[in-house]
Structure 1
Amino acid sequence: MNTKHQQPCCDIILFRTACLLIVISIVFSYSLSIYTVEYYDFSRLHFFIRQLAFGILSILLMWYMSKIDPEKYFDKIGSFIFFSSFIVIVVMPFLPNALVQETMGAKRWIRIFGFSIAPVEFFKIGFAYFLSRSFNKNLLTKDKHMRFKDELKLYTPYGLLFLLLVPIIALAQKDFGQLVVLVVLTFVMLMFANRSYRIFVILGLLGIVALVSLVLIAPYRLNRIYSWWSMVQDNVLSVLPQFLSTALRIESYPEPYQVGHSLNAIYNGGFFGQGLGNGLLKMGYLSEVHTDFVLAGITEEVGWIGLFVIVTIIIFLIQRILRVSRLTNKPAHHLFALGIALLLSTPLLINFGGITGSIPIKGIAVPFLSYGGSSMFALALGVGMVLSISRENNKISKQKEDI
């Protein structure tokens, strides 16, 4: 038997990949914010210094979380994140403007020591934990071929939770994009929770009805759909029969100019880009270029090849997380790591679809790349917990080798 007792390490490749994305984010927070700092009369290094601080703290948080013992602290940390962020989200609409930053009637950020924090970013991590823990306890242990009536009873609490989340996140916070992320997270994790396919059909239909209803009751969301359709309708309707093309065509509706500028930035980048710091569309043409449209800004400066490399790094990060999910022998940890992978992939797909005009635009941060501390901290927290799972996996593997 081996006498060495060296402490197993976490998935160091996963950790370094996340750190690399954070470094890339810091670089582009400086490069893409030239016009923004001048417009708001900020220091030239305003966004760079803040993102540098966010990045350093996120890396430290991620490394610290990788050291925790999942057996002792995983459930405690996950429960704290879920319940604390949920409570904050519930009370936010009732807090005074001195504590909550209100933008266009939506209260999404809490002010703390001069910084704005988005609790919903942390709630997504807590929600992934809640689903993994709850599905493991209530679904994985149940017979997959149970009666449909009994299976519906299992989902009633989750339905009630969503009935509470919809008015808070989609209506009070006006954050339809985050609700879509939570719906995708729930549905995909449910697919891996060993349930019958008949329930997926029902839940899928209910989810579609709910999302469509939220669009129809909000004129600004409906206008966003019309604006997007006016941009893509010529390409789509050209392949349809004449009667159907005529029925679906809308006239005299403004196209989304932000998406137009985004496509111009992507086209202007070409294969190799204009060079770091040399993008043109960021100079007042493309707003939020360092946040919601960061992929378009990056593409203009480093080109399609640069974008391909960065997206490949994100995909590789997701693959390493899925590897941790696959190797663990604990179902709850398996589902949680899967959830974190979804919280990286879903916003990336939504953002990329929006900036290219493939889907209606929805302001949602690109994981680890968009400027901002809340998203980066929350993801660092989630990835750090996955790293702790990977360390436990390595510990178990080492014990088997030593026997």
Structure 2
Amino acid sequence: MKNINKNSFLNYSILVPYVLLAFIGIIMVFSTSVPYQLQRGLSPYTGVINQSIFILLSFVMLGIVYRMKLKTLKNQKILSFVFIVLLLSMLMCRLLPSSVALTAPVNGARGWIHIPGFGTIQPAEIAKIFLVWYLATVFSAKQEEIEKNDVHELFKGSSFSQKIIGGWRLPVLSLILIELIMPDVGNTAIMLFIALIMIGASGISWRWFSGYGKVFLTIFVAFLGLLFVVGGKIIPTSLPFAYANKRFIAFVNPFVDLANSGHQLANSYYAIANGGWLGRGLGNSVQKNGFLPEASTDFIFPIIVEELGIIGGILVLGILFFLIGRILMVAVRAKDPFNSLIAIGVASLLLLQVLVNVGGAIGVIPETGVTFPFISQGGSSFLVLSIGIAFVLNISADEKRREISELSSHYIQESDL
């Protein structure tokens, strides 16, 4: 089995949708970024060139990660190094003065590192895939203990503080809390849900996860209900979370304040209404011409619908959901706990990001500033999600190799008999 090229085990049912989404992303980034570039006297090709460079880098990174041995991905030293670099990057974004150009805030949040001549890097995007990688490594190594001690193995400690922040909980909570104080509510929520899903998939009894999930859901709904009742009156505009409160006000009724908090969501509605079933045609969006801010990033899905129609939007979502479904199939069929947990985590990350982005764009949930996977302009997001796809392709190849090896061994044993 060692002589077989690893490319022979490549899962094309995952690779093909990924490449197709990247291709659609290049087209839509070009379509949505041209008006923005022209309004600022820049080359209309700047946005698509930058995105294409990141996509090429992502393809290279995908190939590197795919060729890695799985024991390398489980290496504690590598995990520790990545965590330290990630933590320092996030702290730098938050703690350095806003006057520092490298960490200047964007839309009220301070989660970006600006690299002159290269673009921006958002450590939160890296943190999301790191949580999947880190928790899969930790939980897969504890399978025998979890089977014996159930959820108590994950939250063991001699004191309450040790149960909450001991062991693996400290790195996870530190990343989530730092992201919360950026402030970046959207990515914080995704990171929190990823952690909860990974805990639920770790092997603990479902009754524990469902019980804690009900408590968490009750608190979350109560918090949203409080915001819905008090609107923007409870949070002064001088506080860090004022921008998030404005988005919630827009969610309640974007047409109350069309010139400010409701501007984006209202124009998102207009874009979807303009598109109808068949769309206005590629490149013919009206709302991207200065009416809908963030048309190439957070609100790219409404532009897809405006240009390609509801049918086009459904097809794009269909490709994404097909990709997520194939990743989940890898998780279900995997015999190695690490492989299964990685696939579950990557599928959850993609699903959460789609639901949060599209939900915000169509007004089902408050807009959060989360990008649309593989389509939105944003090098960090595409690169990190590509690493997630590479993880899944790697473990899928490992599972296929293992299956063929077992079948070969079984056939040899039967031949000897």
Q: TM-score range by the shorter chain?
A: 0.7 to 0.9
| CA distances 1:179-235 after superposition (whole Å, capped 9, x unpaired) | 110111111222222224235433653576479399776343334323322359xxx
| CA distances 1:97-149 after superposition (whole Å, capped 9, x unpaired) | 14323235532111234221111111111111111122223466324665x87
Q: Could you tell me how far 1:165 is from its partner in structure 2?
A: 3.5
Amino acid at match of 1:109: W
Contact 1:10-1:394 within 8 A present in 2 as well: no
* Secondary structure in structure 2 of the residue aligned to 1:116: strand
2:237 aligned with 1:228: no
1:135 pairs with one of 124, 134, 139:
139
| Shift in CA distance, 78/100, structure 1 to aligned 2, threshold 3 Å | same
Contact 1:32-1:297 within 8 A present in 2 as well: yes
* Secondary structure in structure 2 of the residue aligned to 1:103: coil
Distance 1:104 1:316 in 2: 33
Q: How does 1:96-107 map to 2 (within 5 A)?
A: 97-104=100-107, 106-107=109-110
| Shift in CA distance, 140/273, structure 1 to aligned 2, threshold 3 Å | farther
| Shift in CA distance, 9/376, structure 1 to aligned 2, threshold 3 Å | same
Distance 2:185 2:2 in 1: 55
* Secondary structure in structure 2 of the residue aligned to 1:153: coil
Contact 2:277-2:310 within 8 A present in 1 as well: yes
Bigger RCO of structures 1 and 2 (CA < 8 A, at least 6 apart): 1
Contact 1:275-1:302 within 8 A present in 2 as well: yes
Contact 2:127-2:175 within 8 A present in 1 as well: no
2:195 aligned with 1:194: no
2:108 aligned with 1:87: no
| Shift in CA distance, 140/401, structure 1 to aligned 2, threshold 3 Å | closer
Which residue is equivalent to 1:265?
271
Which residue is equivalent to 1:178?
187
Contact 2:268-2:361 within 8 A present in 1 as well: yes
2:163 aligned with 1:153: no
Contact 1:318-1:344 within 8 A present in 2 as well: yes
Amino acid at match of 1:275: G
Distance 2:209 2:5 in 1: 47
Distance 2:284 2:269 in 1: 17
Matched residue count: 381
2:346 aligned with 1:343: no
Amino acid at match of 1:88: S
Contact 1:54-1:377 within 8 A present in 2 as well: yes
| Shift in CA distance, 307/79, structure 1 to aligned 2, threshold 3 Å | farther
Which residue is equivalent to 1:26?
26
| Shift in CA distance, 390/27, structure 1 to aligned 2, threshold 3 Å | same
Distance 2:359 2:108 in 1: 26
Worse overlay, 82-91 or 320-329 = 82-91
Q: Could you tell me how far 1:6 is from its partner in structure 2?
A: 4.7
Amino acid at match of 1:388: N
Distance 1:88 1:364 in 2: 19
Task: Return 5+ residue gaps in structure 2 as ranges.
Answer: 158-162, 228-233, 236-240, 410-417
Which residue is equivalent to 1:49?
49
Distance 1:373 1:365 in 2: 11
Q: Could you tell me how far 1:348 is from its partner in structure 2?
A: 0.5
Which residue is equivalent to 1:67?
67
Contact 1:272-1:302 within 8 A present in 2 as well: yes
Distance 1:326 1:79 in 2: 29
Q: Could you tell me how far 1:288 is from its partner in structure 2?
A: 0.6
Q: Could you tell me how far 1:328 is from its partner in structure 2?
A: 2.0
2:408 aligned with 1:399: no
* Secondary structure in structure 2 of the residue aligned to 1:52: helix
Task: Return 5+ residue gaps in structure 1 as ranges.
Answer: 233-251
2:111 aligned with 1:108: yes
Q: Could you tell me how far 1:178 is from its partner in structure 2?
A: 0.5
Q: Could you tell me how far 1:263 is from its partner in structure 2?
A: 1.2
Which residue is equivalent to 2:311?
305
Considering only aligned residues, what root-mean-square deviation do their CA atoms show, in Å?
Answer: 2.9
Worse overlay, 14-23 or 222-231 = 222-231
TM-score, with normalisation over the residues of structure 1?
Answer: 0.85
| Shift in CA distance, 164/207, structure 1 to aligned 2, threshold 3 Å | farther
Contact 2:121-2:379 within 8 A present in 1 as well: yes
| Shift in CA distance, 314/133, structure 1 to aligned 2, threshold 3 Å | same
Worse overlay, 274-283 or 52-61 = 52-61
| Shift in CA distance, 203/358, structure 1 to aligned 2, threshold 3 Å | closer
| Shift in CA distance, 341/58, structure 1 to aligned 2, threshold 3 Å | same
| Shift in CA distance, 227/31, structure 1 to aligned 2, threshold 3 Å | closer
